[in-house]
Structure 1
């Protein structure tokens, strides 16, 4: 009998599903391997025959996992975890010996990880800054004190030495409650919140997919405090009953959880336009738009979210630093199409 692991050139790892195991094999394995490999990579390994369940090869990623299943997986040699500098253009808003402030474009991953070992912001920063980046974040996240989702654009600050890293990290950990740190985002959402200004106070935790988040009950083990302040600044396609087809919302974070704005806006019934994770149920809303706007909205292939403002205290001079970045061209084109509704 052929060894299904031989072709994969892999190291054999044996896992046993616990009594609460459920769901798809590819999803379960991705979570069980603690994020070492992306779900797409795990799916590929299954399809290659590099996974056995109870001694039998399984090539269907959708195969259900049951309590007690013994799962063997052939893990390929790990990719080089030490990022190298790459000549990737950076939009630098400010730079000195302590820090660098950039405007991250949509589509750029912040730091290397499973499925994204190259082509990240960290690779660009290593090339641009050389060895001056702070090492506190580790080899994969040098200088990184906060992050933006891959498809979210906007202002970020990166530490260039360890003292700056500690100072900036403390400000982000405090979330601006006792200091000058402030973060503001612009988001294009479906519909219009009933209240034009409000606060969303809803704890977040992991959803079924390890990469996603969901609103949780406060007593949930993984629930983390999450507070978003929002204000509607523009309304598009307003109707006589004061409802709208879409809105531009400004959000200020009081906490900084993964996907916070995206989950919170979806939670109150107004997901971000283009959001592939939390707004798919609203995708057909584009059918209510005039043809010209419908084309633009359907072509917008990311969440309409831009971190337009960042304010913090400089770690060396204690000066209050304030930076703003204009909405990028793709999102501006989306807003112009929505403004044309009126």
Structure 2
């Protein structure tokens, strides 16, 4: 945060408007002085709460214009307790410091509370684990979710613990790494073998017929979002056994990060993920064209075969590029091994 003119140690920041502040909006000037710890939206919320005084009087508007020499006081409230509540849920922690935590999310764990999943989520687990080390995202002691993995997708995730880290990481993910160091690599087991060993899928995504699913849509549609996935075929299975269904292990690297992007894009080119309940339904009978015991392993696999293997990003505090990898979980690695052996 820009250095305050004084701070009393009790959450009161005292600033003095210089000559360059004359005529500026209060929220604009404060956001600049308190960056990077406070966004303009956070400053506006503090003003609305009556936490900002000018010359001893409560500031009545974020739009108020400043005069040179005015004394501005900002009373920082204690972060509010988190809602939802923390729950003791085991976490596979790859890295943690004061700014962020990196975890290897297991398949089956929902990231954020919502309809049908108000408890037992990653957020509940992080609130319990991080405790007082959460300094407050937007004034609330909660973890800052900057990207998500589907419930049944496993792998590496980073979560912010401070407002500053939350903003920096959110900007990096929103920018998709174009202006910084952000790399995301996934491994997927897909039906069929792509005709190209390396390829790019550039197809906009929008809502399908229901609220949850996504589909490739015309780019002129209002809800169309630019989406690009790069893929590389790593292994081929059943290529020389034409009597059986074939499959491939594919690495996917995201240039953008849309909801269900890999799942929709791979299905779009005719290679849906094995086990995908939403985008691979038309390929369910493929399992019938596999030998035993592989056939039953595929039919029993309860989720899409997708794992976030690698996440690389710039640390919001140190600005060093750091990378984390997580091996495939046992259920998916055993399924891949079964394909290797058939």
Offset at residue 141 of structure 1 (A): 6.7
Aligned position for 1:330 = 331
Q: Contact between 2:230 and 2:252, CA under 8 Å: does it hold in 1?
A: yes
- CA 1:152–1:210 in structure 2 vs 1: closer, same or farther (change >3 Å)? same
Q: 2:312 touches 2:323 (CA, 8 Å); kept in 1?
A: yes
**What's 2:278 paired with?**
277
Is structure 2 residue 156 aligned with structure 1 residue 155?
yes
Q: Gapped runs of 5+ residues in structure 1?
A: 1-80
Change (3 A) 1:338 1:229: same
Give the distance between the partners of 1:162 and 1:140, measured in 2 at CA: 10
Aligned residue number for residue 117 of structure 2: 116
Runs of 4 or more above 4 Å deviation: 137-141
> For the residues of structure 2 that align with 1:279 and 1:248, how far apart are their CA atoms?
16
Aligned residue number for residue 185 of structure 1: 186
Distance 1:296 1:336 in 2: 11
1:249 corresponds to: 250
Matched, 1:99 2:100: yes
Separation (CA, whole Å) in 2 of partners of 1:138 and 1:160: 12
Q: CA deviation at 1:82?
A: 2.5
With over 3 angstroms needed to count, the CA separation of the structure-2 counterparts of 1:140 and 1:255, relative to structure 1, is farther
Give, in angstroms, the shift of residue 194 of structure 1: 1.0
Q: C-alpha separation between the residues in 1 aligned to 2:165 and 2:224?
A: 30
Deviates more, 1:132-141 or 1:214-223: 132-141
What is the number of equivalent residue pairs in this alignment?
260
Matched, 1:233 2:234: yes
Residue 113 to residue 139, structure 1, CA distance change in 2 (3 Å): farther
In structure 1, the partner of 2:174 is: 173
For 1:330 and 1:123, locate their aligned partners in 2 and report how far apart those are by CA, in whole Å: 25
Mark the structure with the bigger radius of gyration.
2
Counterpart in the other structure of 1:29: none
TM-score of the aligned structures, taking structure 2 as reference length: 0.73
Matched, 1:298 2:273: no
Report if aligned partners of 1:83, 1:139 keep a CA contact under 8 Å in 2: no
Provide TM-score, normalisation by structure 1: 0.73
Which residue in 1 is equivalent to 2:45? Answer: none
Q: Deviations over 1:280-311 (max 9, x none)?
A: 11010001111111011111010000001000
Measured in 2, the distance between the counterparts of 1:106 and 1:333 equals 15
Question: 1:143 deviation in Å?
Answer: 1.2
Whole-Å separation in 2 of the counterparts to 1:244 and 1:200: 24
Give the secondary structure class of the aligned counterpart of 2:158: strand
Q: Does 1:258 align with 2:259?
A: yes
The C-alpha deviation readout for 1:224-246, integer Å capped at 9, x for no partner, is 000000000000011278x9700
Q: Decide whether the 8 Å contact of 1:273 with 1:304 is kept in 2.
A: yes
Q: Where do residues 1-150 of structure 1 align in structure 2 (5 Å cutoff)?
A: 82-133=83-134, 135-136=136-137, 142-150=143-151
- With over 3 angstroms needed to count, the CA separation of the structure-2 counterparts of 1:124 and 1:283, relative to structure 1, is same
Deviation at 1:135, TM superposition (A): 4.1
- Aligned partner of 1:18 in structure 2 is none
Distance in structure 2 (CA, Å) of the matches to 1:228 and 1:140: 35
Question: How well do the aligned residues superpose, as a CA RMSD in angstroms?
Answer: 1.8
Q: State the alpha-carbon separation in 1 of the partners of residues 226 and 136 from structure 2.
A: 29
Identify if the C-alpha distance between structure 1 residues 137 and 193 changes in structure 2 by more than 3 Å, giving closer, same or farther: farther
> Contact 1:175–1:254 (CA<8 Å) still a contact in 2?
yes
- Matched-pair contact (CA < 8 Å) for 2:245–2:290: no
Do the aligned residues in 2 keep the contact of 1:122 with 1:140 (CA within 8 Å)? Answer: no
Structure 1 pair 199–116 and aligned structure 2 pair: CA distance change class (3 A): same
> Aligned partners of 1:212, 1:226: CA distance in 2, in Å?
15
Pair 1:218 & 2:219 matched: yes
